[in-house]
Homo-oligomer: A and B are copies of this chain.
Amino acid sequence: MDDRTEQLNRAFAALADPTRRDLVARLAVDDATVGELAEHYDMSLQAVSKHVKVLGDAGLVTRSKEAQRRPVHLDADVFDLMSTWIERYRRRAEERYRRLDALLAEESDRERESEAEAS
């Protein structure tokens, strides 16, 4: 499996968890340490640390190495990748929906014609 595929695997999987999406939402406001983040959740610090690790492995988040206070920072790149993927198929689905719509309109045109003939 190529690298890009695995990155998408990890990124989508990371965001499938509501706690992690919430972490992302918080980090979008400002960088924060694991400890600070953990205060907002009803789970152990270790659990939050694990969640942050998952986000990190997915490349959604980076950490500055200035240990002691090593804040977590949101990174835009992988969001780009996901966004591109989704947009691609969203557009195609919509496109095909519009075409189906047109097709149905055509068909009901034909039906109306038949009815006109029948009358």
Contact = CB atoms under 8 A, between A and B. Distances in A.
Interface residues of A, number: 34
B25 A16 contact: no
Stoichiometry, as copies per complex, reads: 2
A41 interface: no
A79 B29 CA distance: 25
22 contacts: A8-B21, A9-B16, A9-B18, A12-B13, A12-B16, A13-B16, A15-B86, A16-B16, A25-B89, A28-B93, A29-B92, A74-B89, A74-B93, A74-B96, A76-B90, A76-B93, A76-B97, A82-B86, A83-B83, A83-B86, A83-B90, A86-B86
Interface of A: 1, 5, 8-10, 12-13, 15-18, 21, 24-25, 28-29, 74-76, 79-80, 82-83, 85-90, 92-94, 96-97
